[in-house]
Structures are given as structure tokens and as C-alpha cells.
Amino acid sequence: MSAQRDTSRLNLEAVQAVLLSTLEKAGCQGCLVAIRHLSDLQERLEQSYRLSLLDEEFYQERLTGFVFNPPDHLLSAQSLMIVAYPHPQTRITFTRNGKPLQLIIPPTYLHDKEGDQRVHDLLAATLEPMGYHITEAFLPKKLLAVCSGLGAYGKNNICYVGGMGSFVRLAAFYSDFPCEKDDWREPQMMDACQRCSACGNKCPTGAISEDRFLLRAERCITYHNEKPGYVPFPSWLDPPWHNCLVGCMTCQRICPKNKDLLHNVEDGATFSQEEAELLLKGSSLDQLPTSLAKKIEQFGLVDFLDIFPRNLSVLLERE
């Protein structure tokens, strides 16, 4: 293995080119950066908190679970890999009063483990024959993507990747593959955002404001309807503002950079009226009829069972 690795070191740039080309052929885009940037990632995140730009509750719930050290089984990591791959919206259909009600789950929510595993296997198939290894990294992926040069922030603080818009999922990995040169940079906003206020004008909650770049996460619909189902919506959140079964698509739908990608919707589960009523009751997976439980598992909806009653109820009330 060491001989293989020594040989590959003679032409690291060529190996990296092959790696990125392999990703592109699979419809992905990727970027490598040196492991030394880990400390910068952590500092940027913590600085936003120290400057009180992040809501305390949001920070504690969402941004304290990252691990800024390589795992014990890959302490020799020399690089970080961030990969973007297309991810569609998913259409879920519920029958209500004999009529279909179609609700959207935004990109990135479903089949994430399967998608990330495919990327992992693709990278491993290229690197492992040369004696290198990769393993998943639990890092702030959007920040890593924009600092690496793979993507850029929109005004809505969502990461955009060329040709993919924001309909993209990010996967991050540690590797012991060397990265001697990279394009690490300050986080950047898309040039198109400089002269556009479409998302801020459309956002009903004021989460996207002109007086600061960082999203007011505590005002974001996505933040509130991702909470556990027993947590009620805040009183200021007007029911008509809800537009997805989980998450929110308001700012992404209005964004000109996504104009040609809005058709990227795949059909997910279809639930009968009887099945919808069972989901509204908040039944656990083992309490559901076998056929319904299998459908929930097949379409990757198990993690949403506890929020179905709250989120679905408010959407049904609009009808």
C-alpha cells in the first residue's frame, strides 16, 4: 500500500484531476481543500455566535453538533472534500375530501444517506486502489462549500452551485489524500444577488433583510417546521405562509438562478384519505397498518412521522 501511495504522490495534481472528472461524469461537482482550514471553519462559525448574529436557540439546536477534528481512524487526514450533487423536490400526495392535495418536500430532505453513500463509494473507488481513504465529515457544509470555491451564498444564505442552483445536496469527507494547493477564500455572495432582492421581497417573515447578510434564522419558516411535532408554531407565523410539508420553498422558487430547475420534481408517496387520517393522529411506525408502514419506509418518510400532525394540519386548514 505504501508503494502505491508513494507512486501516486509523484503526480498528485493528475490524481486530483481524475477524481474531480469522475465526479463530473456522475453529475456531481467537487472541491478539495487542505485540512488546515478546519480551524478557520470553526472560527467563522463561533465568531457569528460571539457577535450575536445567531439566535441563541438556533445556535444551540443546529450548530453545536459539528466535529472539527478528523476521526480516530483517520487522524492522518490531509484534506477535506466537499461534493455537490443534484437533488430534486419531492411531491407527496394526500387525498382529502376525495381530492388530491399535492405538497412539496424541498431538496436535501429525502434519501440523503443513500445519496451521500453513492458519493462516498465513488470517491473510494478512485482513491482506495492508490492506498488513500475517506470518511464522512460532520462539518458546516454550506460554509465549507462557499469557502472552498465550490459554491456561493445567495441572499437567502442557501448555497448555490453553478448549473445546479440551490437544488443541491452537499456531502463532506475527510481524506488522507494530500492537498498542497487550494482556492480557499472568504465566503462570497453570488454576483447576481448584488442587484436582486427577489427573495427578501418574497419572504413573508422578514428572515431575509437588507441590513445584514446573515439570515435571521429565528424568523425562518424552515427552522420552525423542522422542530419536533410537539412544539407549536409561534403565534406570529401566519398559517397561509406555510407552503411545504417540511421546510420552505418561497425564497428558492422566486430566485432567478433556480428558474430553469423548478421542474425538477419527482413523485413520492401517495396517501389515501384513510392513511392521511392515521398520519394526522401522530401514530408511531409500529402502530400503523403494515402496508402504510412499508410505504413510509419506502419513501424515506420515517423521520417526519412526528411532525406530520402539526405541519400537515396547518396545510390542510388552508384548503
**Close Cβ partners of 161 (under 8 Å, ≥ 6 residues apart):** 29, 84, 145, 150, 151, 168
Smallest Cα–Cα separation from 178: which of 7, 16, 296, 1? 16
DSSP-derived pairing of the beta strands 99-105 and 89-96: antiparallel
Q: Give the pLDDT of residue 1.
A: 45
Kindly report the length of the chain.
319
Residue owning grid cell 478528523: 70
From first to last of its 319 residues, what are the pLDDT tens digits of the chain? 444 554 445 588 888 899 999 999 999 999 999 999 999 999 988 877 565 566 777 667 666 788 999 999 999 999 999 999 999 999 999 998 889 999 999 999 998 899 999 999 999 999 999 899 999 999 999 999 999 999 999 999 999 999 999 999 999 999 999 998 899 999 989 999 999 999 999 999 999 988 888 889 899 999 999 999 999 999 999 999 999 999 999 999 999 999 999 999 999 999 999 999 999 998 899 999 999 999 999 999 999 999 999 999 999 876 6
Query: Would you say the C-alpha torsion 16, 18, 22, 27 has a positive or negative sign?
Result: positive
Query: Would you say the C-alpha torsion 294, 109, 198, 240 has a positive or negative sign?
Result: positive
Q: Give the pLDDT of residue 3.
A: 42
Smallest Cα–Cα separation from 166: which of 126, 82, 241, 106? 106
β-partners of residue 136 are: 173
Q: Give the pLDDT of residue 317.
A: 79
**Close Cβ partners of 252 (under 8 Å, ≥ 6 residues apart):** 106, 156, 158, 165, 166, 167, 258
